[in-house]
Structure 1
């Protein structure tokens, strides 16, 4: 039976009344943020304030901070698009997954990584690869307690697999035209929580892939297309408005007068198309652990306004410190990202990442075909590939597109 939308009308009216009471006008708060942003020119004073937040009697600051000298950039500085390199090699990776199903006699999960190699400034055709990996052994699909691996664990495995395959592909391309850019479609500050099966092993694998990319001399970038949740720069601007005593006694995770604003609101106002923000780092225990792995592995970031000529977008770009400390690497990455975002008509998104996503995607038809192939193997051993309880079978019949029960 279809959802009875007429019974939702009164509830939607309540939603409208709630929205009427909310303040969606960011104008005044945004102007305060812009004023504080352009006033943030004293890097020494900002470093002193950041050091204060790292004292034992202060906690809760998870905002942005400048890079350490001599690599730091003035917070309010913006940078136009540099010249695009005549030639470059871009390797992009993306991944998808099929989660295990406990309603089958042989649960499995699938990780599929798509890799796309784009030869900038060269007439050669791009190279495209897919790397599907099927996990079906009970030891690989269950945790030590015999429970099916959680979706969160599968996601963590996919992330590590993506970066490992990206590192391997970049290593194979290390003799091609430089700069050699590795594009990853997500934040770089991956973290496997304790509830993820084999979380320590996964973290070790991820950090190992970072080292491999560093050894290849790659310009690694984590591309975040919609950083709507990010407000680390807002937290910094709030911090700079406080006295030392207020820093010690305030909730530094809040935004004060800037509450409700996001970083994209600020940078959409202050960046022109093609411009990037200053490089910064996020002040957090996780990033500190990356730094302890080696100073080259702390994660920095900048914001960038990309444009297709029809549409503009604010994106966040994560880079490891070995990239952030190399001005030429940063310039090459900046220019190539802007160029990539102009290759798809009206859609300002890197072409190489779009193709990697297409390669990685596992459609419902693909999954159905894979289920059929596994089912054939099971039936050859006299095993029914899927068991339906009476309840499940009834749901399958009722929800089928071929037939609906009539009232």
Structure 2
């Protein structure tokens, strides 16, 4: 049966009606968070000690950790220098589907090379996964492993291309990916995941040794790392620190709500470190890989737009590298006009994306090769066929 739009309409009306009251509460929480930020702006050592104290009793603590910069800092962006190289990579994949006529996976990695004063270059690397490759250790290849392999290939391709650029040019190079550097698809007990994650860390370490910049760009971030840090201060003031990790007294306020009040166009926030179980794996492997971040206003005075930029400590501790990264990102975002986003990342996505028509073509190529070699031809499952029938013969 189709969606009952009348039921949905009534639910929308009721839930949107509640927004007015929620907005008032959220504004009060935001005012309190801003007050805390200003009071603790220059108490970085105190806050670092507080995070350390709480982390001993709250394993799942996830928050920002201050560096040497004041919490309320706003660093203006400078014009981009004349010579630099930005390598942006993005990946897409076809997830194996056992209901299709043939089960296969694809990892497609696109790279866009932008050098000032030169014609941009594009590169794509495609890899198909078939048969035994889909069942490592006799277990079906999961989405977590496929996504981790995609991230790993992005970083490997960036490092490979950056080394080639270094051989030909004597210009600063930054590598950029879409999304956080922190990986949430991290190994628990899976040995294959552990190996892939270690390979990812190794590539980052090699990139550092090569003197190449690294960053991840998070568009429209919903994170509240700094807010969570301020909550610890609030709980301590209320002598309720034992509730850390359980109660969220400023829940609903995001970091971008805070920094929208203090970052003019082009400015970045202070640099913070990420304190979390997943982020700890980076610093445990190599302290230079400790994950850091700052917020950057890539919008205008009329339309501020804040993004989060993640970078490893070896970049974060180099003031010139940070300033260059800020200038490059602002330059890239300006090229996209009213919808600021790094041009190079946008192009890398266009290069990497696998469209449905390509999915179908690849499936047909595999089936034809199996048939040519005398193999048995398979058909899609009855379940998938019934879905296509109910969709009027169109594939979902």
> Fold match, TM over 0.5?
yes
> Cα gap change, 1:88/1:253 in structure 2, threshold over 3 Å: closer, same or farther?
farther
Is the Cα–Cα contact under 8 Å of residues 86 and 174 in structure 2 kept in the other structure? Answer: yes
User: Aligned pair 1:264/2:256, yes or no?
Assistant: yes
Q: Secondary structure at the match of 1:133?
A: strand
Runs of at least 5 residues in structure 2 that lack an aligned partner in the other structure: none
Q: Secondary structure at the match of 1:269?
A: coil
Aligned partners of 2:63 and 2:228 also within 8 Å: yes
Structure 1 counterpart of 2:352: 360
1:350 to 342, 362, 377: 342
**How far does the alpha carbon of each residue in 1:150-206 deviate from its partner, in whole angstroms, 9 at most, with x for none?**
222211211111112112111221232422111111111124233767111111110
Find the counterpart in structure 1 of residue 72 from structure 2: 76
Query: Secondary structure of the equivalent of 1:243?
Result: helix
1:216 aligns with 2:215: no
CA distance in 1, matches of 2:152, 2:205: 13
Match of 1:339 among 328, 331, 338: 331
Question: For the structure 1 residues 354 and 106, does the alpha-carbon distance in structure 2 shift closer, same or farther, using more than 3 Å as the test?
Answer: same
Aligned position for 2:127: 133
Aligned-pair RMSD on alpha carbons? 2.5
Aligned match of 1:48? 49
Residue of 292, 295, 299 corresponding to 2:291:
299
Selected match of 2:269 from 254, 277, 296: 277
2:248 match = 255
Structure 1 alignment gaps of length 5 or more = none
Aligned partner of 1:143 in structure 2 is: 136
Q: Kindly state the Cα deviation for residue 288 of structure 1 after the two structures are TM-superposed.
A: 2.7
SS of structure 2 residue aligned to 1:173:
helix
Kept after mapping to 1: 8 A contact 2:102/2:367: no
CA contact (8 A) 2:100 2:384 kept: no
Runs of 4+ in 1 over 6 A off after TM superposition: none
Q: Please report how far the alpha carbon of residue 106 of structure 1 lies from its aligned counterpart in structure 2 after TM superposition.
A: 4.4
**Per-residue Cα deviation, 1:204-251 (whole angstroms, up to 9, x for no partner):** 1101110121122111001111211x1110011122234378364222
CA separation in 1, counterparts of 2:204 and 2:333? 25
CA distance in 2, matches of 1:363, 1:402: 15
Q: 2:227 aligns with which of 227, 230, 234?
A: 234
1:182 pairs, out of 171, 175, 178, with: 175
State TM-score, norm by structure 2: 0.91
Which residue pairs with 1:64 in the alignment? Answer: 64
User: 2:390 maps to which residue?
Assistant: 398
